[in-house]
Chain A
Amino acid sequence: MIAPLDVFFLLLVLVSGIAALAARDLLAGVIAFSAFSLFAAMLFASLGALDVAFTEAAVGAAITTVLFVTVIFRTERTAAPTARRAGRLPAAAAGVACVVAGAALLKGVTGLPAVGDPDSPSSRHVSPRYIERGPAETGAPNMVTGVLADYRGYDTLGETVVIFTGGLACLLILGRTRPPAERR
């Protein structure tokens, strides 16, 4: 069940994604990528996943864009020209591979249950328990918070550790080394 609004946002996501890939000016590419995130957030919101939409808007459209722009000011604004073009045979093989993989994905999508289908496997496993007793058990009327921070608190702890480790790794890589231009 895809409402017309979802189609509209899907098209915007597609267009901004292609624009981000095609841009030779990296700053324009980053801005298009930010728009991609914003439209993806709107798509999530129109599908009813407000927590995901919130995260996508805050992380994808805001913070990531700022970090990308910072990197661009630090390095180059235009993409490096491609060294050499692929031959005709590899290009044809890649095209065939794309078409086959795309057809397989489309075939797979037709086998998925409809969005919001109450009889789909994912809706019948633990979801009824979360919906029926989540607010009463966790004290959190927002069931997403109840699941993320209480029922699945261990997973969220893992995510937080991953973020922290990623920050430490970036600090190790960026903190002590000289930029490539100085080493030459």
Chain B
Amino acid sequence: MKFRFGSPVLDTAVRLLTPFILLFAAYVVAHGHYSPGGGFQGGVILAAALILVNLVHGRDVRWGLRPSTSLSIAAAGLALYVGIGFLAIAFGGTFLDYGALPLGLPPPQVRAVGTFGIEVGVGMAVMGVMVLLFDALMAWEQSR
């Protein structure tokens, strides 16, 4: 079974929807401080947008990430999370104590910046892993 459901209707719908899904994903990651959402949900929505484009346009479109790329993004997200944790140690705090980061802001805002950093890390990790799972299943089909 070929994994390509191309048709003019689907193509137009995807072209219209994808920018808004991507924007919404970025909003969910960035606005997790103020409203429901955060890195995990935003990462899943971002992965859903990429998988949607992949489903409709198939593998030939340059939109799709290569499995090695999505794995690198996932690893980079995890490294960002752990890196912020160790950065706090380097500036005299405990592991993941964002308040120790020297940003020259009031303490709650410093913590908010640190939280945003790890939310971005979680979002990258989740997005990379979800796209990776989909790619692994696709590749499995191709080796058949």
A-to-B contact residues, CB < 8 Å: 50-51, 53-55, 58-59, 62-63, 66-67, 70-71, 73-74, 136-142, 144-146, 148-150, 153-154, 156-157, 160-161, 163-164, 166-168, 170-171, 174-175, 178-179, 181-182
Q: Is the CB of B47 within 8 A of A63?
A: yes
Which 10 pairs between the two chains have the least Cβ-Cβ distance?
A139-B112, A167-B129, A139-B108, A50-B36, A174-B136, A58-B44, A153-B96, A149-B115, A140-B33, A70-B137
B residues less than 8 Å from A50 (CB atoms): 36
Number of residue pairs A-B, CB distance < 8 angstroms: 151
CB contact under 8 A between A142 and B1, given known A163-B125, A167-B128: no
Which chain B residue has the least Cβ–Cβ distance from A148? B38
Q: Report 25 cross-chain contacts, Cβ distance below 8 Å, ordered by A residue.
A: A50-B36, A53-B36, A54-B36, A54-B37, A55-B41, A59-B44, A66-B55, A66-B134, A70-B137, A74-B140, A136-B108, A137-B107, A138-B108, A138-B111, A139-B108, A140-B32, A140-B34, A140-B115, A148-B38, A153-B115, A164-B125, A167-B129, A170-B136, A171-B132, A175-B140
Q: Is the CB of B111 within 8 A of A67?
A: no
Q: Which residues of B in the span 103-126 have a Cβ within 8 Å of any Cβ on A?
A: 107-112, 114-115, 118-119, 121-122, 125-126
CB contact under 8 A between A149 and B74, given known A157-B81, A164-B129: no
- Interchain nearest-CB distance for A158 vs B (Å): 11
Q: A94 vs B42: C-alpha distance in the bound complex, in angstroms?
A: 43
